[in-house]
Amino acid sequence: MTATSDVVFSLKHGLQSAAYNRLAVEFEEIRPLFRTGALDQLCDAYNEPGRHYHNSSHMVMLLRLFAKLRDLADDPVAVKVAIFFHDAIYHIPLDPQYPPSRDNEERSVKLMNMQAINPHHKSLLKAAQIIRSTATHSPGWDIDTRLMHDLDLSILASSPRRYAEYELEVRREYEVYPVALYAPARLGQLRAFMERRRIYTVPGLSALWETKARNNLSWAIEHLAKGQIPA
């Protein structure tokens, strides 16, 4: 792809050229598994209006982390496919009378299979399993699912400033709900993480991230318990 076509593609999909280039380079490894245009469709999906956290930046962040940790994976292709597709479908609520969609992950698997040349490829079957596990952030037993689980939750262990930005980004995705509804729901989610014996399940990552994540969660829970948005 030429520099000019990079710019045209990036503008079309609402991406900065550097972000698209990173995604295109990372996608090259799994491109043979998918039909022509799969990356275009993914970029369109991740840059839909209303996505403030679950967007292409989130995907780029996970891919950067995974590049450093891929030697831990049994099936790195499956993990990479899961990173690309796990939030491909992410319903942004538009009506406060209705709860958020609970089938995003299943629909993301369906999109992956529609784009796949052979949905029964071993790595794609594994990727589907990994994507489904992100619905409940259930780490599972195999290393690939646990690695994806820890990568997806790595934002919890970011710097206090970045974590505060993350909380605001999530809030913006659910801004249709008044604070009186949003705060208790978010509080329940964060408390569920705090109640786990360990948030992270890969030993090396747990040692690096566990304390940072619990400090950030404690801060957010304190605000949410008062009916405040962490900021």
Q: What is the pLDDT of residues 141-188, one digit of tens each?
A: 899 999 999 999 999 999 999 999 999 999 999 999 999 999 999 999
Q: Are 196 and 133 a contacting pair, CB within 8 Å?
A: no
Q: In this structure, are residues 109 and 85 in contact, taking their beta carbons and an 8 Å threshold? A: yes
Q: How far apart are CA 214 and CA 66, in angstroms?
A: 22
pTM, 2 dp: 0.91
Q: Render pLDDT for 96-144 as a digit per residue (tens, 0 to 9).
A: 888 888 899 999 999 999 999 999 999 999 999 999 999 988 887 899 9
Give just the sign of the alpha carbon dihedral 173, 179, 181, 187: positive
Distances (CA, A) of 216 to 57, 148, 162, 196, 200: 21, 21, 10, 15, 14
Is residue 175 within 8 A of residue 229, CB to CB? The reply is no
Average pLDDT of the residues in 23-31: 96
3-state secondary structure of 28: coil
pLDDT tens figures, 64-76: 999 999 999 999 9
Residue with tokens 């329940």: 188
